[in-house]
Amino acid sequence: MHVTAEHMRALRDCFKKVTDPRRAEGKRHRLEVVLAIAAAATLCGMRGYKAMADWAHALGPKARARFRCRVRNHQYLVPSESIIRNVLIRVDPGELWIKPSKTGMPHYGAVDESLAIDGKTMCNAVDAKGRQTHIMSVVGQQSAQCYTPKKWGPYQ
């Protein structure tokens, strides 16, 4: 799946109200940044903490800036595998629920229904350069409404 600049900013904003379970000392990355990067990596097919960290380290400077990664010595830093792991095992899962808005885009808030997020890579939908097409959807489990059907062609 292709994560756009708008997605990067929106993901970060979705997690701003989540309570940070970490102690004050030693925090290197804001909680919403770590959660947004983990969510984006997962939407892009990464499975596991190492894959998420590798995905984050492969981000370019513009993408890191959009996620509002920490800056040190004029360089954007992304969370490491251990930071991603520690955040994901400590954060309260109940605070990570999202609710679809009237516009159909998910936003952080009280849960009216559970959402199922599913993505697929189309095996035989390959362009001349060997790049595949990806699809993703978010479906309300109670309403069976599809909120965000998306199709991404090969990466540019």
Structure tokens at 8: 């990067």
Residues 128 and 89 in one domain: no
pLDDT of residue 79: 93
Domain of 141, in residue numbers = 111-152
Residues 92 and 24 in one domain: yes
Residues 19 and 83 in one domain: yes
Tell me 113's DSSP state. Answer: S
SS3 121: strand
Please tell me the total count of domains within the chain.
2
59 or 13, greater pLDDT: 59
Note whether residue 103 is domain-resident.
no
Note whether residue 146 is domain-resident.
yes
pTM beyond 0.75: the answer is no
Residues 91 and 117 in one domain: no
Residue with tokens 């970490």: 22
Q: Tens digits of per-residue pLDDT, 106-138?
A: 444 444 566 676 666 767 767 777 776 666 666
